[in-house]
Structure 1
Amino acid sequence: MKPAPFAWHAPEDLAAALALKAQHGGEAQFLAGGQSLVPAMNFRVAQPAVLVDLNRVAALDSLAFDAEGTLRVGAMCRYRRIERDAEVARRLPLLVEALAEVAHPQIRNRGTLAGNLCHADPASEMPAVMLALEARFRLCRHDGERVLPARDFFLGPLATALAEEEMLAEIQIPALPPGTGTGFLEVARRRGDYAMMGVAAVLRRGPEGRCVAARLALCSAGPTPMLAERAAASLVGTRLTAEDFAAAAALAVAEIDPMGSVQASPAYQRHLAGVLVPRALALAAERAA
C-alpha cells in the first residue's frame, strides 16, 4: 500500500511548526518518529493532506531534569535516548523498565514518547506509566499553551484531549519522593507484542514502613489506560503484606474494563490482572524498602 498524496513541510523551529498547524488545521498532522502514523498512512487509515515534519526542530529533541527534579522530555526525544540515560534509570526506574517492553529496538531507535502518547493506544505501556508517575503534558499552539495532567489527556481508544491546532511539545514527569518503589510487569504473546495485560505500580513507605501513598495503572485494561484508584487507596496505611496485595488485586480486577482482543478474552485479561497486580505491588514494595 502507498499513502494518499500529501504536502510535506520541514520547519526548523517550534513557532513555524505551530504556525503551519494553525494554517492547515485538521488537514495537517505532525510527524515525529512515524512509527504509528506512517503505517496508518500506508493503509490509508490516516490521510493527512499536509505533513509537518518535526525532525529539524532541534529544540524539541530534549531530555533533562530541572532544578526541582522534574524530567522534561521533548516531543522529538527518541525512546532509545530515554532508555539508555543513566540518570533517568536512577531517578525514574519505572520509565526505563517499561520502555524495555515497548516493541523492538528498531522501533525504539526511531519512535518518540510524545508520538506514542498522542497515538493513545490503550494497549501501549507508556500511557499507563504516565498515569502511574503523575506526568503532565505541555500542549502548545500558535497563540499559547496549557499544561494538562496525564489522567485528563486520554479520552478513548486513539483519542486524546489535544485540540486541532495543538502539539504535545513536552512531557513533564515529577521526581519520586524518598521511600518510593516502583514496578512494571506485563504478559504478551511474544516479546515486543502489545501486552495482553500490563501493570505499573508506585508505592511509598513512611518512616515506620507503612504505605503512605500508592498509584496503580494498567494497560490493555479498558478503552484508555486505567487507574485502579480504589485498589491503590486500599493500600494506604497498610504494612504492604501479601494479603494487602491480594485484596488490592481483587479491587483492581473489579475496577478495570478490558475490551478483549484476538489474543485474550476480557475474562482472561481480568485473570491476568489478578495475577500481575500483586506481583507488581510486591516488587514496588521491595524496592521501596
Structure 2
Amino acid sequence: MRQPSRTDPLFVAVESAAITRAHVAGLVAGRIAAVRVPGLLPAARCHAITAALADAEMDRYDESRVFPVVAKFGPAINDHRDGGDLRDDYWEAARAAEKGWSTLGLPDAPRELCLAAFRAAWPDVAPGRRHRREMHVGIVREINAGLQVHFDDAVREYAGRLLDAEVVAQLAFNIYVRVPPVGGETVLWRRRWQPDDEDLRIPGGYGYHESVADGAQSLTLRPALGEGFLFDPRHYHTVRPATDGRRISIGCFVGLTDDGRLALWS
C-alpha cells in the first residue's frame, strides 16, 4: 500500500471527558478526525447491557448485502432503503425493537444513551423526523468478523431528504459495551468518496476494496469498554475482525441540520 508522503496535522483523534459543542463543530469543519470519551458508560452498566442482550432476539443485517455477518438489535436505515427512499417497513422494525428492548429490564433504552451523550454539547438535540415521525435512535451491533471498507452519507444515499430538515453534515457515534481482547479496531482514512471509486466497489456488497484508500492518511483506534466514539463517517472507514471475543456497540448517526439542530437516527 502506498503511504502518504505528507500528513494532515488536523487528522487526529482527541480525548475528552465529554462531547462538547467545540468537538461537534471541529468534526464538521475538519479540524479533528475523531473524538474519544473514555468511560462514558461505567463498566458495570456495560456488563448489565450485554448480560440482558443474552436474552434478546438479535437480528442480522441483510446478508445478501452485508458480509461478513453482522448481528444487530434494532433497525438500520440502509436495510430499509429502496431506490433512494426509506420503505415503510422501517417503522415496523422500529416499533418491534422498542417493544423488545422494554422487556429486557434495563433502565435506559439505546435512544436515551445516545441522546444523553449530546445534551450538554448542543442546545437542541432530538431524534430526527421524517414526515413528522421520529426516527429510531440507537442500534446495537455485534461486529466480530469485521466490516467492508465503506462510507456513510445520507445526502448521497437518499434521493431527496432523509429527514424533514436538510442534513448539512453527518457524524457517527458509538458506545462500546463489550470489546474483544484482541482486534476490533476502527480504521478511519482521510479520504471521501470520488466517482471513480465505483470501479472498486465489492460486487453485491455495500463496501469497497481496501485499495480505494491507498495512499490516504489513516487512524487506527482500538475501542475500550464504555468508551464513546464520534467521527465523520463520510470518510472511508472499516472495522477489523476481532481475533478473540465479542465486539458490541450501541450507536447512531448524528446530523447537523440547516436549522442548527442535532438530529439523531439509526
Normalising by structure 1, what TM-score? 0.27
Query: Bigger relative contact order, structure 1 or 2, given CA contacts below 8 A and separation 6+?
Result: 2
| Structure with larger Rg | 1
Normalising by structure 2, what TM-score? 0.29
More strand by share: 2
More helix by share: 1
